[in-house]
Amino acid sequence: MELDATDHRILRDLQTSGRLSNADLAERINLSASACHRRVQRLEAEKVIKGYVALLDPRKVDRKTTVFVEITLSGQADSILDAFEKSVARIPDVLECHLMAGTADYLLKVVASDTEDFARIHRQHLSRLPHVSQMQSSFALRTVFKTTALPLS
Summary count for the chain: helices (H), strands (E): 5, 4
Q: What is the pTM of this model?
A: 0.90
Length of the chain: 153
The pLDDT of residue 24 is above 90: yes
Percentage of the chain surpassing pLDDT 90?
Answer: 99
User: pLDDT (tens digit, 9 = 90+) per residue, 92-117?
Assistant: 999 999 999 999 999 999 999 999 99
**At the topology level of CATH, where does 5-45 sit?**
Arc Repressor Mutant, subunit A (1.10.10)
Domain boundaries, the chain: 5-45, 58-139
User: pLDDT (tens digit, 9 = 90+) per residue, 54-64?
Assistant: 999 999 999 99
User: pLDDT (tens digit, 9 = 90+) per residue, 116-149?
Assistant: 999 999 999 999 999 999 999 999 999 999 999 9
The pLDDT of residue 1 is above 90: no
CATH of 58-139, one of 1.20.120.1200, 3.40.50.200, 3.60.20.10, 3.30.70.920: 3.30.70.920
